């Protein structure tokens, strides 16, 4: 049986049961103390009791530190994730124990971030980080009794905006390439390469000559965003884009970093009078063109690296007028 002691206006509960560690907890009222004791002893009777001690003694700040040491370094986006960890560190919830954080606390966080003007995608990423931390604590850190507070606020998350559908229209490609040629440097062949291969900006910047097989017309991408290497078939237009490039001593194909590509692309679009187009839109354009050439979803996914058809669909924007002829 549980023992109850009144001390300085609070009620201390002590549970001793053979085969279990001693448990103690303090409550404001005896009613709360008795309810907690009944719950714990009932779980012990059914053989389903799991100690909450570690979850109740570990603060969110301590869990964030451990997560940052054990989990974050394994991710490709480790640098960006550290900024999100630091944001959670600065939040008042960081001094609370993991067991004390409830769904209401997460809902309040979402509401305050909305009021601060944070983008919906940013809030989703911050909440996803917190959710994964709780899941890791439950499955890998021995806190099986811990519930994930994010599971209780699924309907509270801000609605994500629809995916971009921007494609090149009319003579935009010709104007874009003309402006890129006038701008100089590598941005002109990089634009052509992006349209022909559907590669991501970072993948393009990381290309190496040793990974290009001109005989079989294939490029190996050994490290991708989703962690799976893939091979990209190269069109004759794509190979022609490489013909004028010198061989660098460091083995890289391009002399531009990802951020430099985006900056140059913005200037080229401005010079060409093209509005609302980003470099990443070229990946959407290239993916859509692969379907328009008659490739099936599995073939396109093998080229673009999308792991699910749902993600592939987000990058595919077929033009209705181009489908008319196929309907007959």
Catalytic residue numbers?
A: 200, 225, 280, 283, 306, 315
Q: Taking a C-beta distance cutoff of 8 angstroms, is the pair 198, 290 a contact?
A: yes
Tokens 């409550």 belong to residue: 27
Separation CA 154–CA 124 (nearest Å): 10
Separation CA 182–CA 87 (nearest Å): 43
Tell me the β-bridge partners of 230: 221
Q: Taking a C-beta distance cutoff of 8 angstroms, is the pair 277, 191 a contact?
A: no
Query: Which helix H or strand E contains 174, and what residues bound it?
Result: helix 172-183
Q: How many CB atoms lie within 10 A of CB 206?
A: 19
Separation CA 67–CA 88 (nearest Å): 12
């Amino acid at each position: 049986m549980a023992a109850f002691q009144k001390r300085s206006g609070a009620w201390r509960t002590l549970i001793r049961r053979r085969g279990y560690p001693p448990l103690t907890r303090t409550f404001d009222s005896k009613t709360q103390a008795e309810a907690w004791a009944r719950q714990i002893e009932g779980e012990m009777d059914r053989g389903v009791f799991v100690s909450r001690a570690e979850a109740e003694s570990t603060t969110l700040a301590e869990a964030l530190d451990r997560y940052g040491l054990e989990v974050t370094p394994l991710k490709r986006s480790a640098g960006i994730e550290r900024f999100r960890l630091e944001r959670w560190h600065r939040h008042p919830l960081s001094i609370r124990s993991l067991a004390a954080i409830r769904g209401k606390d997460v809902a309040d966080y979402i509401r305050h971030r909305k009021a601060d003007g944070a983008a919906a995608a940013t809030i989703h990423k911050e909440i996803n980080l917190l959710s994964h931390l709780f899941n890791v604590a439950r499955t890998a850190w021995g806190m099986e009794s811990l519930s994930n507070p994010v599971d209780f606020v699924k309907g509270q998350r801000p609605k994500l905006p629809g995916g971009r559908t921007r494609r090149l229209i009319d003579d935009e490609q010709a104007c874009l390439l003309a402006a890129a040629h006038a701008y100089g440097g590598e941005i002109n062949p990089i634009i052509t390469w992006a349209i022909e291969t559907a590669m991501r900006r970072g993948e393009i910047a990381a290309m190496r000559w040793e990974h290009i097989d001109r005989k079989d017309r294939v490029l190996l991408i050994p490290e991708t965003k989703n962690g799976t290497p893939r091979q990209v078939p190269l069109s004759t237009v794509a190979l022609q884009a490489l013909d004028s490039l010198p061989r660098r001593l460091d083995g890289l194909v391009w002399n531009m970093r990802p951020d430099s590509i985006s900056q140059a692309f913005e200037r080229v679009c401005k010079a060409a009078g093209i509005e609302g187009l980003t470099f990443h839109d070229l990946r959407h354009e290239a993916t859509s063109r692969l379907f328009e050439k008659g490739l099936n979803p599995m073939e396109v996914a093998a080229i673009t690296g999308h792991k699910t058809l749902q993600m592939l669909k987000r990058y595919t924007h077929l033009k209705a007028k181009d489908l008319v002829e196929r309907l007959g």
